[in-house]
Structure 1
Amino acid sequence: MTDNTNSQLVVRAKFNFQQTNEDELSFSKGDVIHVTRVEEGGWWEGTHNGRTGWFPSNYVREIKPSEKPVSPKSGTLKSPPKGFDTTAINKSYYNVVLQNILETEHEYSKELQSVLSTYLRPLQTSDKLSSANTSYLMGNLEEISSFQQVLVQSLEECTKSPEAQQRVGGCFLSLMPQMRTLYLAYCANHPSAVSVLTEH
């Protein structure tokens, strides 16, 4: 058993984990966990949101020092030492946030494509559901998936610009009308899709 409190190992959840015992730690994909103990056998102890417990180590990945979040509310930003350059901290924080946005949007795009190719498209050619029920389940996910790919591509193009010229918010704003239309249609269809799922 190794106590890891001095090395400050920080990990990010790759998957959701729901505890089954009281001494385990529940977390969601993307959560940051501070590891307090590493033990051979695949289970680590860590702290998240003020709770400490055990979790499977293969559900997380180590956050490298360059990826560690820099909090804008940290004391360093409030009262930096004389001669200290806060621009470097702000730049680091900006890069962490931007990387998180890119990873999240890219992962969402991959998951949409996976749901479509693994579950929904095969349903269209099967006789397990009526075409109307299949249509409710599909909704406009094909269009949302295509839109998501455009959004990811737009964000990636934005990050290729020099940092001072990057307008990440502008990428979202320019696509907002299309996003709004797609998700309003998705939300309008959602009760019908849930009804089909609960029936079957």
Structure 2
Amino acid sequence: MKNKIYFLLSLAALWLFACYKSEERPTIIHGRVTEYGTGAPIERARIYVLCQEGTVLGPSNFTLIDSILTDADGRFYREYAEGELCGSVSFLPYKEGYFKGNEFYYTTDNKFFDVVLDPLSWFKVITAPDILGDRIYFTGTFTGAAGWDTWKGDGTKTWLFETRGNRDTWIDWDYYGGGMNSHRDTIYLPKHDTTTYTIHY
């Protein structure tokens, strides 16, 4: 009788263990990386999988635990067994020729991520003085909210800005004392190329 009880208890334990195992769910990190402005898939973008660790009172530290490459269609997919990753996992996408992302994608509920990367572009501004004015000031969406000024006595100057491509940018410029925004142009910046704009003043 005692052996029969032990046998039944063993069966019950095995059944409970099987139920527990069946409820385990892997963590899935998956999605697609495309290019801003064209929607084209980005092949061989690298997805850095990070573990965030820290305390409520202290700063968080990110530890690299894996990386995934996107395929020809820009897709990435990887499964991790339960317990293989830490409690707070995120990823950061990167591809040479594109802006380095500073947005962490937190992996919760095995969500599918649509990741859009901004291609790099360069905007060259040339200031060429003539007889119209002594000093100008210019700014625009390509400067990151900064403003720049130059004097006629500086001669011709060249400014090169790294910015985001496949989109319009605008530039404002004016003489000192003339009131800002009296000269505005909108310029389209193609990806992975340099666009030149010359200001004669």
Task: Confirm or deny a common fold (TM above 0.5).
Answer: no
Q: Which has the larger radius of gyration?
A: 2
Q: TM-score, normalised by structure 2?
A: 0.22
Q: TM-score, normalised by structure 1?
A: 0.22
Q: Which has the higher helix share?
A: 1
Q: Which has the higher strand share?
A: 2
Answer 1 or 2: higher relative contact order, Cα 8 Å, separation at least 6.
2
